[in-house]
Structure 1
Amino acid sequence: MLALRLNLTQPGLDPSEMSARHQAALEMCAHVEEHGFDLVNLEEHHGVDNGWSPAPLALAGLVLGRCSRLPVSIAALLLPLHDPIRVAEDIAVLDLASGGRLSVVLGVGYRPSEYAAHGKDWARRGALMDECVDTLLKAWTGEPFDHRGTTVRVTPRPFTQPHPPVMIGGSSKVSARRAIRFDLPFAPAGHLPDIASYYHEQCAASGVEARCRMPGPGVTMMFIHEDPDEAWATLGHHLLHEAVTYSAWQTPDVRSAHRSSATTVAELRAEGTYQILTPEQALAHGQHSGFAIHALCGGMPIAEGWRCLTLFTDKVLPFLR
């Protein structure tokens, strides 16, 4: 699996620099499409000091419009923060326009501040999630249905039938049961064999086909550089910025693929969740697992992001094939 991860963080939030970063991201998507990447990964967070990806559906539309073949995955869309009718319409239009190239992991989220900012009740997040998932699945039939006391109909119907590819994300047994209840694939937030086993047991007990999309062990955020020691010394603070920001949101019950406990660049490097590899090291790594290239990690200078990406496509990818 070859994936480009984009969350477009920019410490300082200078609008001109942020504009350049978004435009560069779209050009990078065109570049990885040309070189046969499997997908682009997007995500969602709100109110972050570095502008961390607040509008993944809008960004997905830009990427899908810029590229003609490249799939886009949003992991995850924080569904209870949104109006489900609006989400159903947006995803249906993106699905139609792209020919079914958008997939979405539906998540509850884990930051009370995001619920407060959107006027949503944190204490009711589970009930809100259930209502929203139910609404999406009814909306995509194109038939009238009852929604909050009134009859509504969502048109047009999506291209992908019976509905666009959506999954239930999470790291809890509640999320696993929700996936079974709605008969949707389950996408654990990390390599969580205990949750996957529970999910399979509950599927067997419920007579539901198990569809678990769990990432493999040792998922890493990868950056390519000719000299990793130099890169850690001059660019490592960008990776640390993302790791520290993300980890500050975590609670003990949240288990994600790239959670870190590092507080220094040296600790982050030793931990291994974020890796800076030479093309030769990346090639050896790829014999055993896929690639999640994070070329603009933590506000990385755009020129360094391009350097990372072209090193991979020029010096690694040809030998993988």
Structure 2
Amino acid sequence: MGVFPSARRWVGIAKEVTPGTAVAPALTIPVDKFDPSDDVTQLDDQALRGSMAKQYGQYSGPVMSSWDLGGPMFGDALGYLLHNILGGYAVTGASAPYSHTYSLLNSGDGQPVTHTLTDVTGVPTTSGARQYPYSCLSELTLTWNAEQLCTWEAKAVGWPSVVPGVAPTNTLSTAPPIPSWRGAVGIGGPASAGTLVTDVSEFSITLSREVTPYHTADGTQAAFVIARGPLDVTGKFTQIAQSEQRLLDLLANTQQQLQFVLSNGLTLGALISVQFDLQKVGYRTTKISQGTIFTYDVEFQAIANSTNVGASGGLAPAKVLLQNAVTTY
């Protein structure tokens, strides 16, 4: 009997043409973890039958899948995840680096695209893989600490997993991860325009939205539709306490522009950068923290505005500019 070493595992992603129809992976995402699950709602028969038993039957009800992915942030794979959770997308550029702009989709039905995640473990027969179609992100978090690599974590729900008929192709990402010390934070304006804050040691931003499966009597255990609801953008950062400015901002309810940029520092086709623009944020808490020196731990929430919108109009709390050598997502 053979075994399946976990070191040979790889995870791929691809945009679906039709939501729920699994597709072969377009790119392999190097990850530290991928925790998928098929979640079956068990329907219990506990109707009284004159015996001192409790459980008389168990029947399969609706089935969904879910997964949790995490690891170093790769600037080519990030575009797939941003497209999934935000929906609004446009690309410009005749050659690399291409500029990919993401914002909240406010036109049509407001539903972003869906993706298939492919988990290659070697365990399933025939192809050695399981695919998780109709994947809809409920949360995407980017985190950096100035002493570490920038990392991400994504969570999603989808349709029940399927086994593809043929073994998927491993198409590895060629983009290296980016050290967090290359990050830049702008408060009160863009970092590139002179409002760069150089004393932030940690930063994280979370894009989250309601994701609700709707099951109907359509003869299948999968959801009829997985609906994406409102988007919320929150985050936190740690700033060395050289003044009380962040506390004063909280007390005055000063709603400032916040920008986060992470770049590999290269140019032309080798450039990889991601820029989060939040035109208006409200501070939720500002707590002083005692270590070797004092720091402030600041929590914020982005506020919808007309500046951060994309081509679909409306209002949006954030816009993301991703630059890399990928032609389109």
Which structure shows the bigger proportion of residues in helix conformation? 1
Q: Which has the higher contact order (CA 8 A, sep 6+)?
A: 2
TM-score (norm 1): 0.25
Q: Greater Rg, structure 1 or structure 2?
A: 2
TM-score (norm 2): 0.25
